[in-house]
Structure formats: structure tokens, C-alpha cells
Amino acid sequence: KQEVTQIPAALSVPEGENLVLNCSFTDSAIYNLQWFRQDPGKGLTSLLLIQSSQREQTSGRLNASLDKSSGRSTLYIAASQPGDSATYLCAVSGGGADGLTFGKGTHLIIQP
């Protein structure tokens, strides 16, 4: 059974810092990996989708990497801003209609 772990569970840093969020998964036979953010009381916003054949994806100040063989992904946020404060969720898919298996998230606070 796939399990996804996210470290750290919570992170508070001053504005402007670069930071890394970590995600690991137990079964490397994934189809893709997706990073989401969730603001308090809101839904999930997709940030980046990495297919299993890809090593990384970039969108603006965000960069996500995938090392499928070691079961790891990182989300890099450059020049953090207070608006980046949210919970970041990592999720993996086994393909087909398996659905996503989620980690418990990293609660991020960017201090102004």
C-alpha cells in the first residue's frame, strides 16, 4: 500500500528566503506526482504535475523535482512571500483510476 510522507510538518520562515519542502513515497511504481496548495477553508490548487518519466517541473518561483527510484520529490520555493503561506500537499498516482494518495502536508508560514 502506497504511503506518502511530508517533511517538515510545519515551517515558519521570514519573507525572502528560499525553502525546500520534502515528500517521500514508499512504492516507486507511480504514474505521476502532483503538488497542491490549500489555503485555510479552501479547496486544493494544483501547483505542479510531474510525470513519472520527468525529473522536474517549473512554474514561476516554484520548482519540483522527482527521483522516482528513491521515492522522493522536493518542492523548491524561491524568494518566499507572505502570500505563499498555505498548506502544501504532495500526492502520487498509480495511474488509471487509482486516485491520489496524499501526504499529510507541510503547513508553511512566511513572516512579513
Partner 1 sequence: DTAVSQTPKYLVTQMGNDKSIKCEQNLGHDTMYWYKQDSKKFLKIMFSYNNKELIINETVPNRFSPKSPDKAHLNLHINSLELGDSAVYFCASSQVTYGYTFGSGTRLTVV
| Residue ranges in contact with partner 1 by CB under 8 A | 32, 34, 36, 38, 42-44, 46, 49, 51, 87, 89, 91, 93, 95-102, 104-105
Question: Nearest approach, Cβ of 18 to partner 1 (angstroms)?
Answer: 25
In degrees and rounded to multiples of 5, residue 82 shows phi and psi of -55, -30
Minimum CB distance to partner 1 smaller for 38 or for 74: 38
Question: Nearest approach, Cβ of 75 to partner 1 (angstroms)?
Answer: 15
Question: Nearest approach, Cβ of 94 to partner 1 (angstroms)?
Answer: 11
Count of CB atoms situated within 10 Å of the CB of 94: 15
Minimum CB distance to partner 1 smaller for 85 or for 101: 101
Question: Nearest approach, Cβ of 108 to partner 1 (angstroms)?
Answer: 13
Q: Are 76 and 63 in contact (CB under 8 A)?
A: yes
**25: nearest Cα among 84, 82, 72:** 72
Minimum CB distance to partner 1 smaller for 16 or for 95: 95
Cell 523548491 locates to 76
d(CA 31, CA 29): 7
